[in-house]
Amino acid sequence: MASANALATIALALFLPAIYLLMQSLGPRRGVLAALLGGWMFLPVFDGRLNLPFLSSKLTFVAGTILLTSLAFDSQRWLRLRLHWVDLAAAALCAGPFATALVNGLGAYEGASAAVQSFFAWTAPYLLGRVYFGEPREMRELAVWLVGGALLYLPLCLWEIRMSPQLHRQLYGFHTVSSFAYVVRYGGYRPAVFMQFGLMVGTFMATGALVAYWLWRTRAVTRFAGLPAGWCTAALAVTTLLVKSTGAIILLAGGIALLEGTRRLRHPVLMLTVTLLPVAFVAARISGWAGAEVISGAAHIQPERAESLAFRVLNEQMLVEKAMERPGLGWGRFGRSRVFDDDGRDVSVTDSLWVILLGMNGLLGLVSVAVLLLAPVLLLLGLVPARHWDHPAFAPVAAVSLGTVLFAVDCLFNAMTSPVFLAMSGATLTFHQAVRAARRRGAPAVAPRSPGTPPAVQTGA
């Protein structure tokens, strides 16, 4: 495994002071947003190459350093956070790994280490969303900056589509992928840019394209960085296709169909169905459903895909059986949840995040992540009528919340986490709290556009 060069170390060392400078120059909220997107998009994927206590991956490093900087220089904002029962899931993601280590005989030190790492990976980015992006105008800004981040990635994606994934190696000294077999697709290349996998880039670009589409479609935003919103949307959609991630393309097409269907039906049934889909899928898989119908259908369309799907299902069945030997709290870290043959060789392949969570942290960890990602959207569906989902004031929230749901769907098939999507989930919950508080004061959920001002959801604030 190639080592990181000096520039990778310098970039990580400068990130913390960069967060402070961004918060001072742009203001705390925009500074945190710029650091969150910028760190995730451009810092090196140093996982396993640099030994940083508790912040040993790009995910934990980005979320952890932003959180600690925010607590140090913007602590008053944190004191205004109103707790919600969903926050119990965030707490469980910290307490669960500690309990898992104890019941598996791994000791309190391992439990504390696992709990801290889980906090920075899951709870920290969620809390940043809760604290900084839940008010209506903040949600609009979050949506616009998501599109801006995708537009920044667009030329880098196009370069790597043509030249192969080289930017990370050229800048930081090493590739993020272990084999080029993972990046060659359909006679071209799948870009990785500064993320760990091309699939992660595909999901990020698809989310940016989806948010851009709905902001443009509802006329919530007419220009991004001075460019026509329609052209930006088209460019992001085409780039998502060129990234050659089948899952990301399906998510983008499905997301657009969901938003348009909700707009026409004026009923949240479609959003509700897709939001509950991950829960139903995982419950069925744990109960023993092997997806034979899906494999059979895939065989008629693309035989090689069917073989890959069958292999994945077989591995998931083995891993689920192993996980259900300790269903409550799981097996803990260090590969203890994987399946080994009689000779001690690892014979399992973990592709899906839900299987990893079930094996490591049991049903407690799996349910906690599901609540963290899906409960805010379900609460929002019950509070804001579907007829408002295409209102310019609510469109950014609709797009951001759907992006979180689609990320949860993606976790059924891929093992990728991102602080951006967790922050989006936290922001959705705080927005729900703001609208609910406004209703208690008798204010309308959606305020009409005032002359000379952008639309806003009325919260009474």
pLDDT digits (tens, 9 = 90+) for 254-299: 999 999 999 999 888 999 999 999 999 999 989 888 766 665 655 5
pLDDT digits (tens, 9 = 90+) for 184-197: 766 678 899 999 88
What residues are paired with 224 via a beta bridge? 227
* pLDDT for 163: 87
Predicted local distance difference test score (pLDDT) of residue 459: 37
Nearest to residue 440, comparing CAs of 429, 432, 448?
A: 432
pLDDT digits (tens, 9 = 90+) for 225-235: 889 999 999 99
Q: Are 251 and 203 in contact (CB under 8 A)?
A: yes
Tokens of 286: 């744990």
> What does the pLDDT read at residue 300?
54
How does pLDDT run across 58-68, given as a tens digit for each residue? 999 999 999 99
Six-digit token string for 252: 């983008």
Mean per-residue pLDDT, 12-25: 95
CB atoms within 10 A of CB 358: 28
- pLDDT at position 449 is 45
| C-alpha span between 238 and 249 (Å, rounded) | 10
Unique residue bearing structure tokens 């729900």? 432
Give residue-wise pLDDT tens across range 375-418: 999 999 988 888 888 999 999 999 999 999 999 999 988 888 89
Q: What is the pTM of this model?
A: 0.91
Per-residue confidence band for 457, with pLDDT thresholds at 50, 70 and 90:
very low
The predicted pLDDT at position 149 comes to 96
Please state the φ and ψ torsions of residue 367, each to the nearest 5 degrees. -65, -35
What length is written for the chain? Answer: 461
DSSP assigned state of 122 = I
> Distance (Å, rounded) from C-alpha 226 to C-alpha 131?
29
The pLDDT confidence band at residue 348, using thresholds 50, 70 and 90, is confident
H/E element, 107: none
